[in-house]
Amino acid sequence: MNESKNSVLKNPTEQTLDESTTTSFDHVIINANIATFSAQHGFGIDIGSDANEHADSIPYGQLLNAAIGIKSGKVAWIGTQNQITAHLPKYQASQITDVDDKWITPGLIDCHTHIVYGGNRSNEFEARLQGVSYQDIAAQGGGIVATVSATRAASIESLFAQSEKRLIALMKEGVTSIEIKSGYGLDLDTERKMLTVARQLGEKHDIHVSTTYLAAHALPTEYKDHADDYIEQVCEWLPILHSEGLVDAVDGFCENIAFSTEQIRRVFEVARSLDLPVKLHSEQLSDIGGSALVAEYKGLSSDHLEHLSEEDIKKMAASNTVAVILPGAFYTLRDTKLPPIEALRKHHVPMAISTDCNPGTSPLTSLLLAMNMGCTLFYLTPEEVLAGSTVYAAQALGLPNKGKVEVGCDADLALWDIARPADLAYQMGLNPIQGIMVQGQWRERM
C-alpha cells in the first residue's frame, strides 16, 4: 500500500466538529452502522491492480457505531457516535433519528428498467407453460407487439396508474433513484407518453428518475422489412423529445433480432449532437460488437453482456463504461451462457446490477432478488451486488453525487434491520427495509 492511500484510510472522517459545525445540521442520524461505498471510507473493490492492495480496502466502506449530520439535503458530516454525542442535547427530538445499531446503505439505484408499459403478458407465460410455442404466440400478436399495442392504447392516466405500482414496489425495497426507458411506443406520440409518465412518477413520488429514449428497441409492425426507414424516424423524434425536456440518455437494442451496430450508430450520432449520453442493450444473445460501439461513444453503460468478448471488455475499461448485469432476464429466459464476470473483474470494469423490469423477459420488481440472483447465478459477491445497486449504478446513470454515503453527496439513504450487509443479498422474500430518506427527508418509515 502506498503512502497516500494509507493516509486516506487511516482517518478518513477527520473533520472539525465543533459547536458551529453541529448546530448547522438540519438532521442527525445516530447509532448507525453504515455501508458507505465511499473510497474516502476505504471502499475499494476496484482500487489498484494487485491483490495486496485490494486486501487493504474496507468491506462495503463500512463504519460501525457511527453518526451522520445532514444539511440542506446533503450529507454534511460522517463520524463516530462518540464524536457527536456531546453535541446532541441541543437538538430537538424531531431532528434526531436514533437507528439503534441498524444498518444504513446509500438509497438503492435501479439503473435499467422498463417499468412504464401497458398490460401484461401473464397470458403468454401461462400459454408457453401449457406447451404453446413462441412462434405461435408471436403469430397471434403476442410478445413485444402485444405490449406495444397495450401501451399505445392506454391513456396517460392509465399508463401512470399501471406503472406506479411497480415503482412503489421498488421503493418499498429501498430504491431512491431509478432509470426508466421508453421503447414500447415505437411512434412519436407513445414514446412521448411513456417518457412523460416517467417524469410524472418522479415528481409525484419525489425521487430521482433518469429517463432514457429507447425508440430503437424493436421494429414496429408498420415498418416490417424497412428497419432503416424506422431508424430514420427514431433519429428525427429524438431532438423533438429532447427539446421537450423528456430525455436524459439514449439507448437501443443491438442484436441480430433487433438493430445492427450501423443502425445504432446513426442514433448515437444524433445523441452526440445533442450532448446526450448513450448506453446499449448489448451482447445478450450474440456478440455483434454493441459494447465496442458504446465504448467508442464513451457511453455510460453496456447492459446484459452474456456474450461479451474480452477484447470488448478492454474497450469498456478504457472508456470507463459500466457493465450492467441483468440476472432477471437470464433467469426468465432460462439462459445458460454466463456473463464474463471474471474477465470484467480482471479488467476493473465497474459492474452494476438491475431488475431490467419489463413485461416480457424480466417481470421483476425486486432489486433485492436481483442481487440474490447475481450472487447465486453469476457468482458475484454480496459486496459486488450491493456496490452494483449503489455506487456503480449511480455511475451507470451519470450521477456522481448519489450511490454512496459521503460528505457532499445527496442524503439518499436506506435503513435496514439486518445483522450485516450480506443479508440483503442472502435473504429471499424477506424485506428488512425500515425506511428510506431522499435528499435528507425520511420518505417512508416502514
Residues in contact with Zn ion by the rule CB under 5 A:
356
Contact (Cβ atoms closer than 8 angstroms) between residue 398 and residue 300: yes
Helix axes 227-243, 188-205, angle to 10 degrees: 40
Cell numbers given for 112: 435499467
Q: What is the nearest approach in angstroms of Zn ion to the Cβ of residue 302?
A: 12
Pairing state between β 96-98 and 441-445: unpaired
Q: What is the nearest approach in angstroms of Zn ion to the Cβ of residue 53?
A: 35
Quick one: 316 or 329, whose CB is closer to Zn ion?
A: 329
Q: What is the nearest approach in angstroms of Zn ion to the Cβ of residue 111?
A: 11
Quick one: 137 or 325, whose CB is closer to Zn ion?
A: 325
Cell numbers given for 442: 425520511
Quick one: 312 or 356, whose CB is closer to Zn ion?
A: 356
Q: What is the nearest approach in angstroms of Zn ion to the Cβ of residue 183?
A: 8
Residues 6+ apart with CB under 8 A from 304: 281, 282, 283, 284, 324, 326, 329, 339
CA gap 347, 327 in Å, rounded:
21
Quick one: 303 or 383, whose CB is closer to Zn ion?
A: 303
Quick one: 283 or 356, whose CB is closer to Zn ion?
A: 356
Q: What is the nearest approach in angstroms of Zn ion to the Cβ of residue 64?
A: 37
Q: What is the nearest approach in angstroms of Zn ion to the Cβ of residue 304?
A: 7
Q: What is the nearest approach in angstroms of Zn ion to the Cβ of residue 129?
A: 23
Quick one: 306 or 356, whose CB is closer to Zn ion?
A: 356
Q: What is the nearest approach in angstroms of Zn ion to the Cβ of residue 327?
A: 12
Q: What is the nearest approach in angstroms of Zn ion to the Cβ of residue 160?
A: 21
Q: What is the nearest approach in angstroms of Zn ion to the Cβ of residue 361?
A: 8
CA gap 117, 125 in Å, rounded:
17
Cell numbers given for 179: 432509470
Contact (Cβ atoms closer than 8 angstroms) between residue 384 and residue 99: no
Quick one: 62 or 354, whose CB is closer to Zn ion?
A: 354
Quick one: 231 or 258, whose CB is closer to Zn ion?
A: 258
Quick one: 84 or 195, whose CB is closer to Zn ion?
A: 195
Quick one: 303 or 410, whose CB is closer to Zn ion?
A: 303
